[in-house]
Amino acid sequence: MRMDKEGTVTKGVYTIMTKAAASILSADLANLQQDCTRLLNAGVDLLHFDVMDGHFVPNISYGAPVLKCLHAALPDVYYDVHLMISDPARYAPDFAAAGASLITFHLEAVPDTVDEVIAAIRATGCKVGISIRPGTPVEAVFPYIGAVDLILVMSVEPGFGGQSFLPSAPARIAALRAECDRRGCDTLLEVDGGVNTETAPLCIEAGVDWLVAGSSLFHAADPAAVLQVLHSK
């Protein structure tokens, strides 16, 4: 029995309790603090902060100044920053200074400089995550399993909230879980996109540690009931 980096109690290589991250892309952005507080009170563990640059993905969201304000309002929260941007190394220090706890970048954005980007994020003092789009073979991240803290498996094409979960995702999570176990690595696995009470159990069964949910949490009549499913392991 031991505690991982986020305080999750684990036995051997298996996480006993999954964590739920609320994607603020689906929040009421005019009342961001109140909307996040509502979900944190319902039992959300982390806030997932989606950054889109209109270049790596065909949409623009928000940047470090918004994170800075949210962090000032809610300083005790773990901020899981998901950079869907073309130049993550350039902007990682801004997000770290704004309050990021963990910064995830996309392998497809920087295929030739992955090690440098990992080092650049590491240098900010934040934990490091690497993400892959649904069409990228999971084997592409195998070389980095030992170098990152988290692998984010996208279960939709990145760029928009409210999309349908791609059924290929659980097998991809299971393949990564098997490879991490084979190497004895405690790398966290996260899934993002279309996660709800129907699809979360499939990801949990496949061995995911953290589940990101935007619309299914922010638009839920009873978010605590959704969280009960997301926390069912």
Contacting positions for ligand DX5 (CB under 6 A): 23, 25-26, 48, 50, 82, 156, 158-163, 192-195, 212-216
CB of 175 to ligand DX5, least distance (A): 21
For Zn ion, the binding residues (CB under 5 A) are: 50, 82, 192
Residue 26 binding result from Zn ion, ligand DX5, none, given CB thresholds of 5 to 8 Å by partner type: ligand DX5
Q: How many CB atoms lie within 10 A of CB 124?
A: 17
- Lookup result for tokens 């979960």: 165
CB of 62 to Zn ion, least distance (A): 13
Active site residue 186: no
Amino acid (1-letter code) at residue 178: A
Least spacing, CB of residue 172 vs ligand DX5, in Å: 16
User: Between β-strands 2-3 and 127-132, what pairing exists: parallel, antiparallel or unpaired?
Assistant: unpaired
Q: What does the alpha-carbon distance between residue 164 and residue 126 come to, in Å, rounded to a whole number?
A: 31
Indicate left, alpha or beta for 225 from its phi (over 0: left) and psi (-120 to 50: alpha): alpha
Q: Which residue has the tokens 């309002």?
A: 73
- 213 token code pair: 């949910």
**C-alpha closest to that of 93 among 54, 111, 119:** 119
Q: Which is nearer to Zn ion, 183 or 208 (CB)?
A: 208
By a kind-dependent CB cut-off of 5 to 8 A, residue 99 interacts, out of Zn ion, ligand DX5, none, with none
For residue 32, give the H/E element and its range. helix 32-42
Note if 50 is an active site residue: yes
The catalytic residue among 45, 50, 53, 209 is 50
Residue 118: name its binding partner from Zn ion, ligand DX5, none (Cβ under 5 to 8 Å by kind): none
Q: Compute the distance between CA of residue 100 and CA of residue 44 in angstroms, rounded to an integer.
A: 17
At its nearest, how many Å lie between Zn ion and the CB of residue 48?
5
For the chain, how many helices (H) and strands (E)? 8, 11
213 binds, among Zn ion, ligand DX5, none (CB under 5 to 8 A by kind): ligand DX5
Beta-ladder partners of 191: 153, 211
Catalytic residue among 45, 80, 149, 192: 192
Q: Measured from the CB atom, is 18 or 26 closer to ligand DX5?
A: 26
Q: Which does 159 bind (CB under 5 to 8 A by kind): Zn ion, ligand DX5, none?
A: ligand DX5
Beta bridge partners of 192: 154, 212
Q: Which is nearer to ligand DX5, 93 or 159 (CB)?
A: 159
Q: Which is nearer to ligand DX5, 143 or 162 (CB)?
A: 162
Which residues are part of the catalytic machinery?
50, 192
